Amino acid sequence: MQCCRMIDGGQVFARIDEAAGMVRFLEDPERYDTARVVQRIDGQIQQSIAISGRLMDINQRVRLASLCCVALLVGKITLHGV
């Protein structure tokens, strides 16, 4: 089913021969030689860069929160003499 969705969505180029139970994968018909394609690819690259930046920010926040939790735990252990 997922293969069918990918074919219908244009993510994969293929033909399904239901009688034979076979999938024939085809070449991507896009020529990748127009300004529109370059703009689309550039947009996807920019989007990927933005997502990467957000993930790095989240990762940094998680690290800082972890360090704060460890510091609080060490402080409690030290106060209670464990």
Residue numbers of the domain that contains 59: 32-82
Residues 21 and 51 in one domain: no
pLDDT at 78: 82
Residues 43 and 71 in one domain: yes
pLDDT at 82: 56
Q: What is the SS3 assignment for 13? A: coil
Total domains in the fold of the chain: 2
Residues 37 and 11 in one domain: no
Residues 45 and 74 in one domain: yes
pLDDT at 81: 65
pLDDT at 74: 86
Q: What is the SS3 assignment for 14? A: strand
Q: Check: pTM over 0.85? Answer yes or no.
A: no
Ranges under pLDDT 70 in the chain:
81-82
Residues 72 and 41 in one domain: yes
Which value, in Å, is the radius of gyration of the alpha carbons in the chain?
25
Residues 23 and 41 in one domain: no
Residues 22 and 37 in one domain: no
Cβ burial of 1 (10 Å; 0-12, 13-18, 19+) is: exposed
Q: Tell me if 13 sits within 8 A of 28, measured CB to CB.
A: yes
